[in-house]
Chain A
Amino acid sequence: MIVVAVHTPSRLGRWLVSGPPLAYLIVFFALPSLIMVLASFRTPGEFGGLAPLIEEGKLDLNLESYARFFSESVYAQIFLKSFGYALLTTLFCLTLAYPLASLIARSSRRYRDLLLLLVVLPFWSNFLIRIYAWMILLGPNAALARTVNRVLAWFGHDPVPLLFSAFAVLVCLVYVHLPFMVLPLYANLEKHDQALLDAAQDLGANAWQRFWRITFPLSLPGVYAGAALVFIPAFGIFAIPDILGGPEDSLIGNVIKQQFLETRDWPFGSVLSIVLTVVALAFAGLAAWVARGNLRTPSSARGSRA
């Protein structure tokens, strides 16, 4: 009989390894989150910030900020708009990233590293500088705006500004988040077995059928990972609409920033932050749930019984 000895690290060893990151997360994520949750139940201070927690010997906690959020529909509308922007960003990123990722995955080893480097190259310059660069690219005197307006003029249309518009915000959102979609998709597509596509072709599948029945379903884990990595940050972003958007393009991130830095209503800002987190997590959870269901009962099995 063969006895397989599995080496289990000691308890101390495990804590030594996982302790520091855990402590980091507790101090810099869990505690601030708790402070924010607590703040959402407190009263705003007279001149901004928070009123004292204990007033005249009584604990001052209330649901007023929550009541305000649910009674004023403007905030729900902004949430919905932000959700829409994030969803559009995710869809555009997916459509652009998929061909790019499969091109990289199929290119020879020599070019693959170079192409991946080009994908992450933008990270080498500052986030804000890249957004400001779009101000120049989309500006009224830039080649892009002139060309667009010249074409519009042919059709007898009045010139349109590209900068400070929903268009500018979306273009930059897609630009900033594209690598987060490309990388997980590439990591997935790169592992695909060419023999499966050969087999599908041999069994009578044309190029489109090979993509739709084999490549795409097998890439879904990468699609979901990329969607989560794009959707969640895009949902709460404030810098891009701040710099490139018009007054109509304020998103929930801008409103939260405003509550903390300008209006200085910390409790209400906390409420908006909490709702943002809950909605984003719910969406990510939903995506994960759909993903798991999809992987367990593939469409092909259902199709064959249809």
Chain B
Amino acid sequence: MALLEIQNVTRRFGDFTAVDNVSIGIEAGEFFTLLGPSGCGKTTLLRMIAGFDLPDGGRILLKGEDLVDRPPERRPMRMVFQSYALFPHMTVEGNVAFPLQMAKTPASEISAKVEAALEDVRLTGFDKRYPHELSGGQRQRVAIGRALVTHPSVLLLDEPLAALDAKLREEMQIELINLQKEVGITFVYVTHDQTEALALSHRIAVMNKGRIEQLDVPSKIYGFPKTRFVADFIGHINLLSGSVSERQAGVITLAVEGLGPVRVTSASPISVGGAGTIALRPEKIRIQSRAPTDSPDNHYRGTVGDLLYMGDVTVYKVSIPGGTRIEALLANSQSGRAKFFEIGDAVEVSWPVDAGHLIEE
């Protein structure tokens, strides 16, 4: 049995079902992420785990014990709030000591434990500062230190990096990964930022409209999205919809309107005539000025409609005469060169049959 079991949990607010029959088992020591757009129910689920809200249906078990009768102050879990929620009238030391004092830790042990927690979050020497004297990143560390000082069995993090700027966010991501490894505590992390989820997690549950769309390891979520929603939500992707026109030896041909036949390797049992969507990452598409002859790949002629220079890569939006737009990107490996093609250039896009991933509908 998993450390934290969420069994068929449902939560309704009036007519609106915020969390709809969700079941997840989170293992000890795991970095688990609930990912989804705002309003998908991820924060409601986290608040139910913390005890601030109760499910209308289903159970939440920790080490096999139903938590329904335990108010938040009696659950062995700690939450890191998006706003950090540091006590403004207490020093860093006072904030970190607070949960120890609540747990009636002998006064003689408190200062050593506070010291150790501050060392974990690399804030040694900041104990006499007040929250308003700290930077955003430092406040974030205090919040994490305060949550970890009592060694809870689960740490719940509610969009903890949302208020930080991009550079600091990346630094904190690396620190979070290392910290989680060091302390070995189970992290349940809520975010709407897919890159953050991919970078941090052991496993991700992608949520939409109160339900789990897909639960898997990051590389599977990115590479093999199970539904259109997951494919679209995680990163940039080309979604080519059509019906199956041919099926042979593990290769399925999909008739895509505005593009033509597209071949993709798939073990799916989908039958001829069934509807499907091919999810294709832009980085897997080649873009060239001339067609390679006798290629077994999918290849289509088009013109460059738009391009976006991003620094490391340039994104090309190629218009196919049928009306489809294919997004492809090329790494700018040569410095000083922003693009290989101009808007209006005739190009050919191509990709191997195993580059795409078929989603059944």
Contact = CB atoms under 8 A, between A and B. Distances in A.
Interface of A: 193, 195-196, 198-206, 209, 213-214, 217-218, 295, 298, 300-301, 303-306
B102 A202 contact: no
A295 B83 CA distance: 22
B93 A304 contact: yes
Contacts of A298: 89-91, 94
B94 A202 contact: no
B71 interface: yes
Interface of B: 50-52, 71-74, 77-79, 81, 83, 85-91, 93-94, 97-99, 101-103, 107, 110-111, 114, 128, 146-147, 150
B94 A301 contact: yes
22 contacts: A193-B85, A196-B85, A198-B72, A198-B85, A199-B79, A199-B81, A202-B50, A202-B51, A202-B52, A202-B73, A203-B98, A206-B73, A213-B98, A298-B91, A300-B87, A300-B89, A300-B101, A301-B90, A301-B91, A301-B94, A304-B101, A304-B114
A264 B146 CA distance: 67
Given A298-B89, A305-B111, 19 more contacts: A195-B81, A198-B52, A200-B98, A201-B52, A201-B71, A202-B52, A203-B147, A204-B99, A205-B98, A205-B102, A298-B91, A298-B94, A300-B89, A300-B91, A300-B97, A304-B94, A304-B97, A304-B107, A304-B110
A214 B99 CA distance: 13
Nearest to B91: A301
Question: Chain A interface mostly helix, strand, loop or mixed?
Answer: helix
Nearest to A220: B89
The 5 A-B pairs at the shortest CB distance, nearest first, are namely A204-B102, A199-B85, A304-B97, A300-B94, A203-B99
Contacts of A209: 102
A300 B102 CA distance: 12
A55 to B, nearest CB: 60
Contact of B72 (A201, A218, A304): A201
B87 A196 contact: yes
A201 to B, nearest CB: 5
A295 B77 CA distance: 31
Nearest to A194: B85
